[in-house]
Amino acid sequence: MNRFVRPGWTTGLCIAVSFSCAIGAAGIEWLEVRRRKKLQRVGKVAPPEDVVRRNSVAMEKLDTGAMV
């Protein structure tokens, strides 16, 4: 259907559904960030920079052929 024949309600519905998806994704991301911060305060999850450093060390060991 071209834009001149398309009913207005279809465009409005598609825009509303896309906004709802974006709002839902932002809400899920907010909840995950909040959960991660809570776990970091308790000490159950390492801060991201420690994780990155550990991963880079592990990758270096794999590159050199050493066992992790």
In the chain, where the domains are located: 8-64
Residues 5-16: tens digit of each pLDDT? 889 899 999 999
**CA–CA gap between residue 30 and residue 1 (Å, rounded):** 38
d(CA 30, CA 37): 11
pTM > 0.85: yes or no:
no
Q: For residue 30, how far is the Cα from the chain centroid?
A: 10
Position 52 scores a pLDDT of 66
- What gap in Å lies between CA 41 and CA 48, rounded to an integer? 13
The owner of tokens 């709802």 is 20
Q: Answer whether 40's CB lies under 8 Å from 47's CB.
A: yes
pLDDT in tens, 20-63: 999 999 999 999 999 888 887 777 666 566 666 766 776 777 66
